[in-house]
Amino acid sequence: METVQTLTWSDAWYLAPELVLVGFALALAALDLLLPDRVNRDWIGAGTVLGLAAAAAFVCWHLYDFHQAAAAGGEGTHSLLNGSLRLDDFGHLLKLSFLGASALIVLASLGTVRPKDVPIKGEFYYLVLPAVAGAMVMASSADLMTLFIGLELLGIASYVLVGARKSSGLASEAAFKYVVTGGTASAFILYGMSFLYGVTGSTRLDEIARGLERGAGDFRTLVYVAFFLLVAGFAVKLALAPFHAWAPDVYQGAPTPVTAFLAVVAKGAALAMVYRVFMNTAYFAAGSDPHLTGDVFLALAALAAAAAIAGTVGALRQQNAKRLLALSGVANAGMLLVPLALDKTDLHASFFAEFLFYLIAYALMNIGAFAVLTVVSQSSQKEDLSAFAGLYHRAPRTAVAMTVLLCSLAGLPVTGGFTGKLFILFGAVRTGAYGLAAIIVATTAVSYYVYFKIIRQMYMRPGEEEPAVRLPVPAGFVIWLCAAGTVALGAFPGPLLGLIDRLFEVGTDLLAG
């Protein structure tokens, strides 16, 4: 008879990053209730950044400890809560990405989020913390139920953040659509998980892997249903075509910093879940049914291609900047899914490095672009592309930074976006996925027109009637940090790729089986 495993002090140490975020969220919530209304809630935002930095410090500490232990001949990973959570470099690297991106988003919002636009200003800041904690749980989960708990923790906090502009009809519509689509996606995912549990008798990914490796062919129909339910649910969460129609409406209605969070952190967490689940389930099913594995990864490749095409084509006619960036996110979600969909042979062992490098580049260029959009839209009181008219004459440094970020989104040379897309393209060519490679090249070429629409507004349109742009110091710092970071990744990709290759090993850091 199995005994219930309790949480020990050792487990609490390994859960320190998530516990720190929860602790800061509770402390900031209490502080927000105690402070009088006249006190500026940007102090709550500063506390949120501090909590994210503290959690990142613990993640770095764990990363160092694990590699010291591995160098001494010990284990480089750790499981806790009866194998429900697995601490490895896949999770550590993604956690640092989520924490860094969230800190930049909150920092950029300081001085730009106004109470008249977002009445729940204090809540707006500290609700980011449980959302990030949910994303971190998703990155480290080795059990379907733990994955689902992390997914719902991220989702519930995000639903509230999307509806933060209570006086806006667009925000109410966006929150309603996000709740409905999020609930529908969760239902598909949970239903698919239930079929995997029924076939294998376990919710742990390592046991599911062994069960599928031995006998996926015995329950072929049920396993097919399970995987394609999961594929559909994840496609909705990631806004992959043809399940992407909700994204432009939700991104437009949400406060711009929340839109940036959805575009980067929520999307990255969903991708972490997709990589963790399919590499530990469908990948191992090849041992008993290679056709099933091939069909699942073919479906992922088809979704990636459809998202790249639909996102790019849909953005061509957009005149609202947030809707344009939403459709850009659809295309980039497809790009981030490509490394998983490719053949996992020795020719493509670097798929995680390609994914993480482009995720970091994508985070920098999107957070910077949304930060610029925030300050520009607040000065002109509109979010159309015309708000950027004459920006070079009104705020030349901000226009230059935005140009760099847009060139990275378009995939022009000497930017992180170009280098990341190039590595993914090389991976597709090496594995013989020439169709995907052609779609990457074609959609990248078409996207030049999409992003140059904004550049044309900034440099080639008069802006005399537009007001001056007020740039708070934190937002200016984030904008230039993102612009400099994307140039650094484009010019010197070696250090980051070398670090990922030194830290990450597929068999140790991702495959639980």
- pLDDT value of residue 172: 85
Instruction: Count the helices and strands in the chain (H runs, E runs).
Output: 23, 2
- Token duo for residue 347: 């020719």
- Token duo for residue 42: 């940007």
pLDDT band at 495 (very low <50, low <70, confident <90, very high): very high
pLDDT higher than 80, residue 241: yes
Residue 208 near residue 168 (C-beta atoms within 8 A): no
Pairing of β 85-87 and β 78-80:
antiparallel
pLDDT higher than 50, residue 1: no
- Token duo for residue 366: 């999107």
Rounded-to-integer distance, Cα 13 and Cα 301, Å: 39
pLDDT higher than 80, residue 343: no
pTM score? 0.94
* Each residue's pLDDT tens digit, 397-426: 999 999 999 999 999 999 999 999 999 999
| Number of other CB atoms surrounding residue 194 within 10 Å | 14
Percentage, residues of the chain above pLDDT 90: 58
- Could you tell me which residues are beta bridge partners of residue 384? 320
pLDDT band at 166 (very low <50, low <70, confident <90, very high): confident
Rounded-to-integer distance, Cα 75 and Cα 329, Å: 38
pLDDT higher than 60, residue 331: yes
* Each residue's pLDDT tens digit, 415-464: 999 999 999 999 999 888 899 999 999 999 999 999 999 999 999 888 66
- Token duo for residue 228: 């394609």
Residue 123 near residue 32 (C-beta atoms within 8 A): yes
